[in-house]
């Protein structure tokens, strides 16, 4: 405990050592505004329309909420650091950021799994879809299970990190606090802890990705015999989900499935699941979904119509 207290502040090296990186502030600010506008648009449009009664949009509503919270754990700090000469974060704030980041990230992974299950049931077992299999109590149970799973995952990551001794180097070669970056600074042999992190984060992501891939393969196999119109609708829905899954999981797997090592490319890949995926999710689910587009038009048209009167 004494060794650990020798480091009370960490220095974040940020995205790059290039002094001109500050010009990216405007770009990141634009992306952050786009994330909030896009995800709030989805949340309000779903909550204020009958779509909230459909399981798919029920889950999409929570996915958008988790995207907002997830990116807000990293993005504000990243933008302020772009304008700061000395990028620092206190020990307690670093641990808090790590806990919240993994908590919300795990929730997002489990919600994507729930959405894949919903998509599979809707297409492969349509007769029992809303009445028996995907009733509202069942959907609520899935969301509670997602949050519980996220809490267990995050707590285990937090416990692996909180007792690490930090007695000297305090420069984190990243733009946020993550497990591998902290393991690199610890004043002890972290090989076993690194393996536990791989099992915890990497294996969870890999198993989930395999399950998602298998479920979408089964869906695509099932829709082969559907009429053209139904097949087109199912393929449109599945393709949206697959794009989101690839954007999120491929970078996560690149970082967490290997042993506890850090590479300069990690920061670029981390941008995908902390910034790019939350920004593109609203576009993917809105532009490629007719029901979502109609809901957005109706909700916001009525809002502007009321103001006009």
The pLDDT tens digits of the residues spanning 239-255 come to 888 888 888 999 999 88
**Closest C-alpha among 61, 195, 54, 51 to residue 121:** 54
Tokens of 200: 């915890």
CA angle 291, 292, 298 (to 5 degrees): 90
In a domain, 11, yes or no: no
Contact 51, 295 (CB under 8 A): yes
Q: How far apart are the C-alpha atoms of 70 and 241, rounded to whole Å?
A: 19
Mean pLDDT over residues 266-287, rounded? 86
CATH label of the domain that carries residue 124: 1.20.1070.10
Contact 184, 262 (CB under 8 A): yes
In a domain, 5, yes or no: no
pLDDT bin (cut points 50, 70, 90) of residue 134 is confident
User: What are the backbone angles phi and psi of residue 289, rounded to the nearest 5°?
Assistant: -130, 115
- 59-68, 217-226, 285-294: which is most confident: 59-68
In a domain, 124, yes or no: yes
For residue 1, the model assigns a pLDDT of 41
- Number of domains present in the structure of the chain: 1
For residue 70, the model assigns a pLDDT of 93
Q: The pTM is what?
A: 0.89
Q: Domain limits at 129?
A: 20-307
In a domain, 101, yes or no: yes
In a domain, 7, yes or no: no
pLDDT surpassing 90 at residue 35: yes
């Amino acid at each position: 405990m004494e060794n650990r207290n020798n480091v009370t502040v960490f220095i974040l090296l940020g995205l790059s050592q290039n002094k001109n990186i500050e010009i990216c502030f405007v770009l990141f600010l634009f992306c952050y505004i786009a994330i909030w506008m896009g995800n709030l648009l989805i949340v309000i449009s779903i909550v204020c329309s009958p779509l909230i009664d459909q399981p798919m949009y029920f889950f999409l509503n929570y996915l958008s909420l988790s995207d907002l919270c997830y990116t807000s754990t990293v993005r504000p700090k990243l933008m302020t650091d772009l304008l700061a000469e000395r990028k620092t974060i206190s020990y307690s704030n670093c641990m808090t950021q790590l806990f919240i980041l993994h908590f919300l990230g795990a929730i997002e992974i489990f919600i994507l799994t729930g959405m894949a299950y919903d998509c599979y049931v809707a297409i492969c077992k349509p007769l029992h879809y809303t009445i028996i299999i995907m009733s509202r109590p069942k959907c609520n149970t899935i969301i509670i299970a997602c949050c519980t799973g996220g809490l267990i995952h995050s707590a285990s990551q937090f416990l692996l990190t909180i007792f690490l001794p930090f007695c000297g180097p305090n420069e984190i070669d990243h733009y946020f606090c993550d497990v591998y970056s902290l393991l690199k600074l610890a004043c002890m042999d972290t090989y076993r802890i690194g393996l536990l992190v791989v099992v915890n984060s990497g294996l969870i992501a890999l198993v989930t990705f395999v399950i998602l891939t298998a479920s979408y393969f089964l869906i695509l196999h099932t829709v082969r015999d559907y009429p053209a119109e139904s097949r087109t609708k199912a393929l449109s829905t599945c393709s949206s989900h697959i794009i989101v899954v690839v954007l999120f999981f491929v970078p996560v797997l690149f970082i967490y499935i290997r042993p506890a090592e850090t590479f300069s490319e990690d920061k670029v890949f981390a941008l995908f699941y902390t910034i790019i995926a939350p920004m593109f999710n609203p576009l993917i689910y809105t532009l490629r979904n007719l029901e979502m587009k109609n809901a957005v038009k109706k909700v916001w048209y009525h809002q502007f119509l009321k103001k006009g009167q």
